[in-house]
Amino acid sequence: MEALLFNVSGGFLEGIVRGYKAGLLTQNQYNNLTQCETIEDFRTQLSATDYGNFLANEPLPISTSTISDKATQVLVDQFNYLRSNAVEPLSKFLEYMTYAYMIDNVILIITGTLHGRNTNELLQRCHPLGIFDTMPALCVATNVEELYHTVLVETPLAPYFRDSVTAADLDDLNIEIIRNTLYKAYLEDFDAFCQSLGGPTAEIMHRILAFEADRRAINITINSFGTQLSKEQRAKLFPTIGRLFPEGNNALARADDIEQVRQACEPVAEYRAFFDSGSGAGRPNGQGGSESTANLLGDLGVSDELGAAADLEDRFFVHEVHLNKLAFLQQFQYAVFYSYVKLKEQEIRSLTWIAECIAQNARDRIHDFIPTF
Amino acid sequence: MGDEYPTLFRSEQMSLVQLIVPTEVAHDTIAELGELGNVQFKDLNPDVNPFQRSFVGEIRRIDEMARRVRFFASQVEKEKEPIPIRPLYDSAPLLTVGPRGAQTIDELDVKLAEHEARLTQMNESYQLLSERLRELVEARHVLRETAVFFEQAAVRETEARTSLDDSSAPLLQHDDREQQFSSGELQFDLEFVAGTIDRARLSTFERVLWRVLRGNLYMNYIDIQEPFVDPATGAETRKNVFIIFAHGDILLSKIRKIAESMGATIYPIDVNADKRADSMREVTGRLEDLQIVLYNTGANRRAELMTIGENLASWQDVVAKEKLIYETLNLLNYDVRRKTLIAEGWCPTRDIPQIQLALRHATEESGTNVPPILHELRTNRTPPTFHRTNKFTEGFQTIMDAYGVATYQEVNPGLFAVITFPFLFAVMFGDIGHGFIITIAAALMILFERNLGKADLGEIIGTFFFGRYIILLMGFFSIYTGFLYNDIFSKSLHLFHSGWDFREDYFNGTVGASNGHTYPFGIDPAWHGAENGLLFTNSYKMKMSIVLGVIHMTFAVCLQVPNHIRFKRFSDIYTNFIPQMIFLQSIFGYLVICIIYKWTVDWEKATTQPPSLLNMLISMVLSPGSVDPESQLYPGQSTVQVILLLLAGICVPWLLVTKPYLQWQEMKKIQGQGYIGLGADDAPRHTDDTTLEGEEEGNGRAIVEANDEEHEQHDFSEVVVHQVIHTIEFCLGCVSHTASYLRLWALSLAHAQLSEVLWDMTIAKVLGMSGLIGIIALILVGAMWLVLTIAILCVMEGLSAFLHALRLHWVEANSKHYEAGGYQFVPLSFARLNEKQ
């Protein structure tokens, strides 16, 4: 059925997004970029790609944050083009994608205000895809309820927020809890929406969102070691759409150290590799291998744990990129829109990393980015 | 070939040349060659990254200069009152070649940087000042609007007092505090926040406030009429003045915080009317001062931009040229040890002396005595296709290039299109009047081409202007065919004595009878208005289009022969050309002969009825050998037709088999001579070739290769498949293409009918009227007729006829002979650079 009717409203935009995808940097271009000596070389090299002359009018010297901003602007422009040309249900789908950025922005502003940052500065650091009208007013909120009643009630995030409204004051722990509650509600809602679309969209999006859910569950578990977060509270934050749900989630809720997390993830074959040492589906090079080995030996010093977490994060990214690439194998579905944005974000992260390495002259780590295609 | 006069018949003969240029003169040499526009440089380091090439530093510097120039251009453009930019031909040229060239560039770089720094500084201070100005203007607005509000409130003050009498303690305290610095006149107990906010955000602002304060506020806002213009971007923003009353410090601070985060600007306003008046005066005073300063800054900035505008065009030109030069230099091979650059490129063989001259000139200019060396390389690579056109032939050649660029040295259909294209167009557009109109239009464009060429005409008019010579010829030919059809604005001309007399017949009304004359040229005007006139012109035009079509196709098939001879494919003459020719002529050539024969017979005196040629052709193929004696065209017709059909029948297998067979035979011959195991031998040789080629590209050494035939990998099955497709395409194509030429008839008929309808519906209706009304009606309707004639008949119908003429050339004619497998010659040329801009 999708093959029959999809192109009526979605064909044009699918074509556009596949065209955008063809413009993603290739391995060869990444290789060329890593050979650059200076940021100027970097710019010259990028001008030969799909980015074109996006930096041509910037006065020298160019900072890495400019590159990142401009590249993000490219993505935002593309996304807005897609969004303004989309009709239901694709427009709703694209809207759902922006909710994640909204959550990030809300948390960013609350945290920033809490630490006494300047509001305008915070607003500039917000992701442009997640900006909404009343966002600046977030900074007046002092507790969760106020937050909800003054600002969030009229945003799409309101239904996610409703569950987590308690009179609690805003502090770092609570903000983190709010973030994860919001995310849990968001992921579950998004997944439900994708399921309602049915067809390959539901299938592929479920695969991607399930991984996202599991990743969050694992991250929450690891990050909650040694904090005041009780195990019951922790269990409440786990999204219920992942592949670990329900046994894995329960096991994670009880976990006390990395080893138990590893055991909880054991039933899912793909996740097993994340905890393997050095080799396998890990990072592009063997960097950080020693830390992983240390973990296996049961030495859970704080620094090692952080190293392991960073390492794990990279592997998550690699796996996410892999899943997103798979989304392009099927036609007549909306997951390509999601995947494209995620891949482009990854690309921007990689570009920023390379540029940063060039700027700081840390050439030995320049290959630690995650290539997309 | 080299000394012959340049021709359009075949593309220019090209040579691969190698230039060995000493580094000192490299820049000047490339500049000189760019002015000449005759050499297409090859990339000699395709494996090298763009940023690892030799002249990347220079390019970067030029890029930076280009960015500055772009910055100036955008600044000049943004200025509200246009700043004159001195055109390029008016400004003194900046010499970037010669011994002082590098210095000029250095100076220019410094100059641009200085200008940029100055301009940026001015922009900054201008922006700062206008920001302050904007704030003051806003403050003034806020003061003014709040004053209005307070005045209104003062009237109602007494009533307000009574209602506020029993207010609670904080209010009273607050009252006291207020009293300390107010003179104790009219007082307001409420505290307030006043300021300005972007109009688009106002509603959100209000909503958020309402929610935060739970409705405990009184908000008033007024639109500011005039928009605020951002000096940097020129964007307009419209703002509103707002004033919010609320209770309590916490609430007020919340309001302030929200207002600030929403991008509003808050101004301290005093409750006291006198103090307000004071601050109003102060603001107005400061505003005046600021405006003077701002005016001066603006004038300075403008003066700076004026100086920039003086030189901008020449800077743009220099920067663009320099960039092109260094980009070209990057294509060359740089030998550090020998201090030379090695260039390879294609150029027309006949222009080599000119290039030599240019090289010598470059050496002299740069003041060194080491001249660049040019020598020809022999190669087996296919050179690019270059047709030397002038402003007349350019349009026609572009039409053919749009279909495909001719293979190197192939017969160029663009030459013949110069005549055939306007002619086929005119067959569809035959009308003296309309032809005259488009001739005049084209002649005007040609007359003023100098001025029009410089102006930017836009895409649509520009296209017409580009094709002005095509239009001119189309106009001439339309006039000619208009005479043939005897059509002028759907009326006919009575130039000669008609061949028909009209008599009143008692039984049949008016009948025409031949009076023995023959109308010497074109269609007899007597047909115009005759009852069977349409019948006659229809049959005449239909047959004529078949005749023209077959002639055109035959000509196109014949164009194969010079190609076969030039490329030494002699076997193709009798495997392709002869059978194709026989096939085409035996069926459609025969049809043409029958058409002409039928015209020559006086059927009134003949014994048989005039036969339908269409049915004749169909029955010739479907039931060969039998011709109905009732509709026989000539005696012995059936025998002739059977023979022709057999001939055509033989041609199909002939076409299909002979070429593959010859190929196969040749292959066997080679094998028979003992070259067995060609494949095994071939593989290493092939790699040798590629390494040789690589060496050549990499090191740029002159390798004299044997000028043997191109090494072609002939796959036998490929030849067979190709030939099968070719045969089917040709045989079916003959039928469908002949039918396709009927569009000549259809369009010319449609054109004639349309112009007749237009005449009948407009002018014919008012022509009979008399008196003043008749004259006025004639003028009005005549104007309408003229407009419609130009818009519909000349432009729309003309475009449609153009399109069909284009199709007849691209599909019907080109498919018979045109290979179009070449690639265009794109020389390094500064002239093209300007075109692009």
ipTM score: 0.73
- Measured CA to CA in angstroms, residue B112 lies from B56, B60, B187, B306, B577 at distances of 20, 15, 61, 14, 65
Q: Quick check: A134 and B208 CB within 8 A?
A: yes
Chain B residue whose CA is closest to A42 = B51
Q: Mean pLDDT over residues A173-201, rounded?
A: 87
**Probe site for chain A from B208, B214, B216, B252 (most A CB atoms < 10 A):** B208
Percentage, residues of chain A above pLDDT 70: 88
**Probe site for chain A from B261, B319, B330 (most A CB atoms < 10 A):** B261
Q: Quick check: A149 and B211 CB within 8 A?
A: yes
Q: Mean pLDDT over residues B147-159, rounded?
A: 69
Chain A residue whose CA is closest to B53 = A41
Report how far Cα B645 is from the mean position of its chain's Cα atoms.
Answer: 48
Query: What was the pLDDT predicted at B707?
Result: 39
Q: Quick check: A133 and B204 CB within 8 A?
A: yes
Distance from CA of A215 to the nearest CA of B (A): 35
Beta-carbon contacts of A359 under 8 Å, excluding residues fewer than 6 positions away, are A39, A63, A64
Query: What was the pLDDT predicted at B228?
Result: 78
Q: Quick check: B208 and A150 CB within 8 A?
A: yes
Q: Quick check: A136 and B71 CB within 8 A?
A: no
Distance of alpha carbon A341 from alpha carbon A77, whole angstroms: 11
Sign of CA dihedral B6, B8, B10, B13: positive
Asked if A45 reaches chain B (Cβ–Cβ under 8 Å), the answer is yes
Render pLDDT for B471-519 as a digit per residue (tens, 0 to 9): 999 999 999 999 999 899 888 888 888 888 877 766 666 777 777 788 8
Tokens of residue B580, six digits: 């194709």
Query: What was the pLDDT predicted at B429?
Result: 93
Model confidence at B181, pLDDT cuts 50, 70, 90, reads very low
CB contacts, 8 Å: A56 with chain B = 63, 67
Q: Quick check: B51 and A45 CB within 8 A?
A: yes
Asked if A372 reaches chain B (Cβ–Cβ under 8 Å), the answer is no
Cα three-residue angle A223-A229-A233, rounded to 5 degrees: 110
Q: Quick check: A119 and B260 CB within 8 A?
A: yes
Q: Quick check: B49 and A140 CB within 8 A?
A: no
Q: Quick check: B49 and A32 CB within 8 A?
A: yes
Model confidence at A286, pLDDT cuts 50, 70, 90, reads very low
Chain A residue whose CA is closest to B48 = A32
Beta-carbon contacts of B452 under 8 Å, excluding residues fewer than 6 positions away, are B445, B465
Distance from CA of A150 to the nearest CA of B (A): 5
Render pLDDT for B266-310 as a digit per residue (tens, 0 to 9): 888 777 778 878 888 888 888 888 888 888 888 888 888 888 888
Distance from CA of A40 to the nearest CA of B (A): 8
Query: What was the pLDDT predicted at A169?
Result: 64
Q: Which of A44, A56, A151 minimises the CB distance to B51?
A: A44
Asked if A136 reaches chain B (Cβ–Cβ under 8 Å), the answer is yes
Q: Quick check: A140 and B56 CB within 8 A?
A: no
CB contacts, 8 Å: B256 with chain A = none
Model confidence at B667, pLDDT cuts 50, 70, 90, reads confident
- B382 φψ region: left (φ > 0), alpha (ψ -120 to 50), beta (else): beta
Q: Quick check: A45 and B50 CB within 8 A?
A: yes
Distance from CA of A140 to the nearest CA of B (A): 7
Among A324-328, B476-480, B594-598, B704-708, the least confident range: B704-708
Q: Mean pLDDT over residues B56-80, rounded?
A: 84
Distance of alpha carbon A101 from alpha carbon A338, whole angstroms: 13
Chain B residue whose CA is closest to A134 = B204
Chain A residue whose CA is closest to B116 = A59
* Closest by Cα among B84, B70, B77 to B116: B70
Strands B373-377 and B340-348: unpaired
Asked if A59 reaches chain B (Cβ–Cβ under 8 Å), the answer is yes
Query: What was the pLDDT predicted at B834?
Result: 65
Query: What was the pLDDT predicted at B809?
Result: 94
Query: What was the pLDDT predicted at B439?
Result: 95
Render pLDDT for B765-810 as a digit per residue (tens, 0 to 9): 888 788 888 889 889 999 999 999 999 999 999 999 999 999 999 9
B552 contacts B808 by C-beta, under 8 angstroms: yes
- Is residue A364 predicted with pLDDT exceeding 80? yes
Q: Quick check: B258 and A60 CB within 8 A?
A: no
Q: Quick check: A57 and B204 CB within 8 A?
A: no
Chain A residue whose CA is closest to B47 = A32
Distance of alpha carbon B618 from alpha carbon B637, whole angstroms: 14
Query: What was the pLDDT predicted at B139?
Result: 84
Can you tell me which residue has the tokens 């540029």? A355
Percentage, residues of chain B above pLDDT 70: 88
Per-residue DSSP letters for A140-185? Answer: G--BHHHHHHHTGGGSTTHHHHHTT--S-B--HHHHHHHHHHHHHH
Q: Mean pLDDT over residues B352-363, rounded?
A: 86
CB pairs under 8 A between A and B: 54
Query: What was the pLDDT predicted at A298?
Result: 38
Asked if A150 reaches chain B (Cβ–Cβ under 8 Å), the answer is yes
Q: Which of B64, B71, B204 minimises the CB distance to A134?
A: B204
Q: Quick check: B67 and A56 CB within 8 A?
A: yes
* Closest by Cα among B147, B143, B248 to B190: B248
Distance of alpha carbon B210 from alpha carbon A151, whole angstroms: 11
**Probe site for chain B from A133, A138, A146, A152 (most B CB atoms < 10 A):** A133
- Measured CA to CA in angstroms, residue A306 lies from A172, A223, A300, B271, B706 at distances of 19, 9, 10, 59, 69
Q: Which of A32, A133, A150 minimises the CB distance to B211?
A: A150
Distance from CA of A39 to the nearest CA of B (A): 11
Cα three-residue angle B206-B211-B214, rounded to 5 degrees: 115
- Is residue A288 predicted with pLDDT exceeding 60? no
Render pLDDT for A154-173 as a digit per residue (tens, 0 to 9): 788 888 877 666 656 667 77
Cα three-residue angle B132-B138-B141, rounded to 5 degrees: 145
Asked if A60 reaches chain B (Cβ–Cβ under 8 Å), the answer is yes
- Is residue B317 predicted with pLDDT exceeding 90? no
Rounded to a whole number of angstroms, the distance between the first and last alpha carbons of chain A is: 30
Model confidence at A194, pLDDT cuts 50, 70, 90, reads very high
B16 contacts B806 by C-beta, under 8 angstroms: no
| Coil vs helix vs strand at B59 | helix
- Is residue A264 predicted with pLDDT exceeding 50? yes
Q: Which of A36, A120, A139 minimises the CB distance to B51?
A: A36
Strands B373-377 and B14-22: antiparallel
Among B124-138, B225-239, B682-696, the least confident range: B682-696
Looking at this protein, which amino acid is placed at residue B569? Answer: R
CB contacts, 8 Å: B204 with chain A = 133-134
Distance from CA of B107 to the nearest CA of A (A): 20
Tokens of residue A355, six digits: 């540029």
B14 contacts B824 by C-beta, under 8 angstroms: no
Model confidence at B685, pLDDT cuts 50, 70, 90, reads very low
CB contacts, 8 Å: B67 with chain A = 56-57, 59
**Probe site for chain B from A44, A152, A153 (most B CB atoms < 10 A):** A44
Mean of the per-residue pLDDT values for chain B? 82
Query: What was the pLDDT predicted at A85?
Result: 92
Q: Quick check: A44 and B60 CB within 8 A?
A: yes
Distance from CA of A48 to the nearest CA of B (A): 9
